[in-house]
Amino acid sequence: MKTAVLHTATGSKTVARNNLSARTRVLDLAELVKARLTLLVLLTTAAGFYLGAQSPINYAALFHVVFGTAAAAAGAAALNQWWERKLDALMCRTRTRPVPAGRMRPAEAFTLGVALSIFGVGYLAVNCNALSATLAAVTILIYIFGYTPLKRASTANTLVGAVPGAIPPMIGWAAASGTIDAGAWSLFAILLLWQLPHFFAIAWMYRDDYSRAGFQMISSDDRSGERSASQSVFFCILLLVIAGLPAFLGIVTLVYLAIELALGGLFIAVAMRFLKKRTAGAARLLFITSIVYLPLLLGALVLTKS
C-alpha cells in the first residue's frame, strides 16, 4: 500500500512538473514573438483590409492577410530578440526574456524567427497577392537590418523603427485592393506618428536601462525629461492633424473627424501634462493613453467607413 501511494505521489509530481514545463515553454514562445505587439499588428492589418475593401467583405481573404502578417511579425520579433540577446541581458526590463535568461537557446530563436518570417511572406504571396507579401518582407528587413543595429548608433532609430510598425495597415489595404493609394498612406502616417510619443514615454521611463545597453535614445541624456516630453507634445499635435486625413479622403464619414479630434485632444493634453510634470508617473500615463488611443481610433475608422 505504501509503495502504491509513493508511486502515485511521484507520478503526480512528475505530471505537475511536465505541465509547468509545458506552460513555461508556451509563455516563453509568446514572449519571444512579442505576442502583445503581434496582436497590435493583427488589429492594424485587419483595419487596413476592412477600410481598403469593397463591400461585401471577403472574410476568408481577411483571415489570410491577418494570419500571414502575424506570422511575419512574430518572425521579425524572434529575430530581433535573437540579435539583441546579449544587450537584453544588461537591461532589467528584458533580462528575463527566454534567450538572455537561458531558457531558450539562441539557435532555437534564430531558427524559429527565420521560419516564421519566410512562412509569413510566402503565405501572403500565395493566399493574398505579391504586393502584400512584398510589404511584409520590407517590414522584416527594415526592422531587423535597419532599426535593430541603429539602436546603438543613432537616436534616429526611433523614427526608423516606427516605419515597420506603420506598414501592417498598408499590408491589409494592399491585400484588399491590390494597390497602395492615398488611403493606405494616410493609415501609414497615422501609425507612424502614433508610435513616436508612445516610444518616447517608454524610452524616458527606462532611460537608465537603455543606457546600460548602449542604446542611443533621445532620453539617454535627457535627465529632466524636457526633450522627450516636448517631442511627445509636438508629434501628438501633428498626429491630431494627420489623423483627420481619412475623413477628407472620403474613406470615412465626418462623424469620424469629431471622434478623432476628441481622442487627439486628450492625447495632447496627457503629453502636455508630461511636459509640465516630467515625472515617471506622467510618462507612464502618456504610455497608457497611447495604448488606449490607438484601438479607439481604429474602432472609429472601422465604424464610420463610408
Measured between alpha carbons, how far is 74 from 205 in angstroms, rounded to an integer? 25
According to DSSP, the residues that pair with 252 across neighbouring strands are 305
DSSP string, 209-252: HHHHHT---TTTT-TTSHHHHHHHHHHHHHHHHHTTHHHHTTSB
**Average pLDDT rounded to a whole number, residues 131-142:** 96
Q: Does the domain at residues 23-180 carry the CATH identifier 1.10.357.140?
A: yes
Q: pTM here?
A: 0.89
Domain boundaries, the chain: 23-180, 181-306
The predicted structure's pLDDT at residue 4:
56
**Average pLDDT rounded to a whole number, residues 80-95:** 89
* 210: amino acid identity, one letter: Y
The predicted structure's pLDDT at residue 16:
46
Say how many C-beta atoms besides its own lie within 10 A of residue 179's C-beta.
12
Q: What is the pLDDT of residues 36-64, one digit of tens each?
A: 888 889 999 999 999 999 889 899 999 99
Residues 164 and 178 sit within 8 Å (Cβ to Cβ):
no
For residue 105, pLDDT beyond 90 = yes
**Average pLDDT rounded to a whole number, residues 195-205:** 94
CATH class of residue range 181-306: mainly alpha
R_g (Cα) of the chain, nearest Å:
22
Task: Give the pLDDT band of residue 107 (cuts 50, 70, 90).
Answer: very high
The predicted structure's pLDDT at residue 139:
96
Measured between alpha carbons, how far is 2 from 5 in angstroms, rounded to an integer? 5
Task: Give the pLDDT band of residue 29 (cuts 50, 70, 90).
Answer: confident
The predicted structure's pLDDT at residue 213:
83
The predicted structure's pLDDT at residue 173:
97
